[in-house]
């Protein structure tokens, strides 16, 4: 049978020749059971996705009276679905009896895989009119369509039906529900489903891990991964890729190395997806050289692999290396929209205005990629940093979609750099509409007012924040010492070594002042005396983490700090002094990029 299909594909037999071979096999193999014979032929077509022979066989079945046999018709619908011929599949579906649940599942799956996704949801509801009840195959397919559409309300309704039929406890239905809620940003609901599944296997664990990782909860992802290992559930390639990515998100080099070692011991390190995740992890954790070695060792460099390495260079401000890698990539892999996010970020972090304009213009012209909000944000940031505020504002107004908070936030930051009050006020108006509870935006404009000596504006913003109950986002910094992560809040005194930490800061502060350091208290958004402002600036979370690292590690040890917000201007200046006075290399990974401090100089060149 397979030889028939192969022969057809290779030599495009005529219809009569194909039918002649059918009859030969019919008489030889299935003299008393033609239905079984036709079913076997159709199964071969499905396995090889041979749609043209399948169409000819469909015509033959109609001529011989077998066209409406429910089993054969179901296989034909399946064939058309796997070959992405949904119109053919639906036309046949509408003309045959619908008593077979497998028939419904086949077409729902076809829509869920290939779209339009609404077709899967409509069929799901239509099946109730025919007295059909969804099973453990129906739910994952239709939930996949909900995920693709971010149709959370429909997904919740389907979840309720799964509860009524008890299928919500099934591992595959549970995994689909977890994935659907994750895609819609409902991590709490994902966890509720996870906890309700009775017998969890690696599929359910992977779905929950992805839910945490994709929604900004990397620590929870790593914790759950540890619980999975303790529970004796053997991880898969997908498990490791997700866990390694979570390590990258928290710059968890120790966890990432452990996962790398586990991958090597279990033979997963030969898988390109795992290697690409490791490239991304090492780059985001500060080990760019290791990332490049792994990148060069990839047998097949997919576009996602190039993107991981390129984005890693961009994060560290290695603009020349990033652009060089892009030039190497062209001709070997097709750049996508993520590639250009990395390229434009590299131009932005390197202050390469001319190059950034060239790459931005080339996206649609040379690669057929229409710039998205992310690309526009990069360009607005680059233009704004370079002092081209009018051009940056013009780019925002030309957007075909509504600018988001990222675009306006980049513009507001640029206004702060250049002290442009009017543009900053306009940007804050838009940001208040988009994210009214983000205190950082109010603080930036307050700093701009303070720099311009407009203290009435500072007071007005403080009153507005109080009126709306807006609180400043807590600033956290992390440092890993001796395989343990230590977290610090600004002004924190809860650490067991707090007295020693503040003593180190006081000693450093005296040496820094002697070396010429003067605290910049302008950004402090508080109605307190200047001495108190100086104390507050000097106890920012990253400084506490650095002081702890200095007293907890041997001289010369490199320090890596992670911060959940942007490094402030005063801390940036202070850390340059600290790196020179202590003869330490200090790396700070903030929300935007890496800063590598050595001998009183930062890798960003004071451009960030």
Q: What three-state secondary structure class fits 485? A: strand
Residue listed under structure tokens 């047998």: 299
Cα separation, 230 vs 225, in Å, equals 9
DSSP category for residue 269: G
Cα separation, 13 vs 509, in Å, equals 86
Dihedral of the alpha carbons of 138, 144, 145, 151, in degrees to the nearest 10: 110
Can you give the pLDDT at residue 5? Answer: 46
* Residue 555: inside a domain: yes
- Whether pLDDT at 15 is above 60: no
What percentage of the chain carries pLDDT values higher than 70? Answer: 92
Give the domain range for residue 497: 477-602
* Residue 553: inside a domain: yes
Mean pLDDT to the nearest integer, 181-189: 92
Handedness of CA 234, 238, 244, 249 (dihedral sign): negative
- pLDDT, one tens digit per residue, over 499-547 is 999 999 999 999 999 999 988 765 554 454 445 455 666 789 999 999 9
* Residue 298: inside a domain: no
DSSP result, 149-195? HT-HHHHHHHHHHHHHTTGGGSHHHHHHHHHHHHHTT-HHHHHHHHH
Q: What three-state secondary structure class fits 360? A: helix
Can you give the pLDDT at residue 477? Answer: 92
Cα separation, 503 vs 484, in Å, equals 22
* Residue 531: inside a domain: yes
- pLDDT, one tens digit per residue, over 443-485 is 889 889 988 889 899 898 888 888 888 887 788 898 988 878 8
Inter-residue contact 18 to 53 (CB < 8 Å): yes
Inter-residue contact 444 to 413 (CB < 8 Å): yes
Inter-residue contact 606 to 593 (CB < 8 Å): no
Can you give the pLDDT at residue 469? Answer: 86
Average pLDDT over all residues of the chain:
88
Q: In whole angstroms, how far apart are CA 25 and each of 37, 52, 122, 171?
A: 8, 19, 40, 42
Q: In whole angstroms, how far apart are CA 193 and each of 45, 163, 232, 363?
A: 38, 10, 21, 42
Can you give the pLDDT at residue 520? Answer: 73
Q: What tokens appear for 259 in the block?
A: 């996962």
Helices 171-183 and 138-149: angle between axes, nearest 10 degrees: 10
Please list, in sequence order, all residues whose beta carbon lies within 8 angstroms of the beta carbon of residue 540, skipping any fewer than 6 positions away.
475, 490, 568, 570, 571
Can you give the pLDDT at residue 523? Answer: 53
* Residue 333: inside a domain: no
- pLDDT, one tens digit per residue, over 350-397 is 999 999 999 999 999 999 999 999 999 999 999 999 999 999 999 999
Q: What tokens appear for 211 in the block?
A: 């839910």
* Residue 45: inside a domain: no
Domains held by the chain: number: 1
* Helix (H) or strand (E) run with residue 64 in it: none
Handedness of CA 316, 318, 322, 323 (dihedral sign): positive
Residue listed under structure tokens 């992802």: 221
Let me know if 189 is exposed, middle or buried by CB neighbors in 10 A (0-12, 13-18, 19+): buried
Cα separation, 77 vs 64, in Å, equals 18
Can you give the pLDDT at residue 475? Answer: 84
* Residue 43: inside a domain: no
pTM above 0.85, yes or no: no
Can you give the pLDDT at residue 600? Answer: 95
Mean pLDDT to the nearest integer, 214-239: 89
Can you give the pLDDT at residue 370? Answer: 93
Cα separation, 576 vs 584, in Å, equals 10
* Residue 429: inside a domain: no
Can you give the pLDDT at residue 1? Answer: 43
Inter-residue contact 256 to 285 (CB < 8 Å): yes
Can you give the pLDDT at residue 285? Answer: 86
Least confident of 158-167, 409-418, 480-489: 480-489
- Whether pLDDT at 306 is above 90: yes
Mean pLDDT to the nearest integer, 576-588: 96
């Amino acid at each position: 049978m397979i030889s028939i299909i192969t022969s057809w594909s290779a030599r495009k037999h005529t219809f009569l020749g194909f039918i002649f071979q059918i009859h030969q096999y019919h008489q030889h193999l299935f003299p008393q059971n033609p239905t079984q014979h036709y079913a076997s032929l159709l199964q071969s077509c499905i396995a090889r996705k041979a749609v043209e022979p399948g169409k000819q066989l469909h015509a033959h079945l109609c001529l011989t009276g077998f066209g409406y046999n429910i089993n054969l018709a179901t296989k034909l619908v399946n064939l058309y679905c796997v070959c992405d011929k949904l119109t053919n599949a639906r036309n046949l579906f509408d003309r045959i009896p619908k008593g077979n649940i497998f028939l419904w599942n086949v077409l729902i799956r076809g829509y869920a895989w290939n779209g339009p996704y609404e077709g899967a949801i409509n069929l799901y509801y239509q099946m109730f009119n025919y007295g059909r009840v969804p099973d453990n195959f129906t739910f994952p397919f239709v939930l996949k369509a909900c995920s693709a559409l971010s149709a959370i309300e429909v997904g919740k309704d389907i979840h309720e039906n799964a509860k009524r039929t008890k299928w919500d406890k099934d591992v595959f239905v549970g995994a689909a529900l977890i994935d659907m809620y994750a895609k819609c940003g409902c991590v709490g609901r994902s966890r509720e489903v996870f906890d309700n599944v009775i017998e969890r296997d690696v599929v359910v664990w992977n779905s929950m891990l992805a839910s945490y990782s994709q929604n900004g909860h990397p620590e929870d992802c790593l914790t759950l991964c540890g619980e999975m290992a303790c529970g004796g559930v053997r991880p898969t390639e997908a498990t490791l890729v997700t866990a390694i990515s979570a390590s990258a998100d928290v710059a968890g080099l120790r966890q990432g190395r452990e996962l790398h070692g586990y991958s090597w011991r279990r033979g997963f390190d030969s898988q390109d997806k795992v290697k690409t995740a490791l490239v991304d992890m090492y780059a985001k954790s500060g080990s760019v050289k290791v990332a490049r070695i792994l990148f060069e060792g990839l047998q097949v460099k997919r576009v996602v692999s190039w993107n991981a390495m390129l984005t890693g260079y961009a994060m560290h401000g290695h603009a020349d290396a990033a652009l060089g890698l892009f030039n190497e990539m062209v001709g070997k892999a097709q750049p996508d929209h993520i590639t250009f996010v990395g390229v434009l970020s590299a131009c932005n972090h390197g202050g390469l205005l001319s190059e950034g304009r060239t790459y931005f213009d080339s996206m649609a012209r040379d690669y057929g990629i229409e710039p998205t909000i992310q690309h526009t944000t990069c360009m607005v940031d680059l233009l704004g940093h370079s002092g081209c505020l009018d051009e940056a504002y013009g780019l925002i107004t030309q957007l075909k979609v509504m600018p988001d908070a990222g675009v306006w936030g980049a513009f507001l930051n640029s206004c702060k750099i250049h002290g442009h009050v009017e543009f900053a006020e306009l940007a804050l108006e838009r940001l208040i509409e988009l994210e009214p509870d983000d205190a950082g935006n109010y603080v930036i404009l307050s700093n701009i007012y303070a720099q311009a000596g407009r203290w009435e504006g500072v007071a007005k913003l403080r009153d507005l924040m109080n009126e709306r109950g807006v609180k400043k986002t807590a600033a956290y910094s992390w440092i890993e010492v001796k395989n343990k992560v230590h977290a610090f809040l600004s002004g924190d005194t809860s650490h067991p070594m707090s007295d020693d930490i503040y003593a180190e800061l006081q000693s450093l502060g005296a040496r820094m002042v002697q070396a010429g350091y003067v605290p910049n208290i302008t950004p402090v958004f508080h109605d307190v005396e200047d001495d108190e402002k100086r104390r507050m600036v000097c106890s920012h979370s990253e400084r506490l983490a650095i002081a702890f690292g200095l007293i907890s590690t041997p001289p010369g040890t490199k320090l890596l700090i992670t911060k959940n917000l942007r490094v402030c201007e005063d801390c940036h200046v202070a850390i340059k002094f600290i790196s020179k006075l202590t003869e330490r290399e200090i790396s700070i990974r903030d929300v935007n990029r890496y800063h590598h401090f050595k001998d009183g100089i930062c890798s960003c060149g004071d451009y960030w």
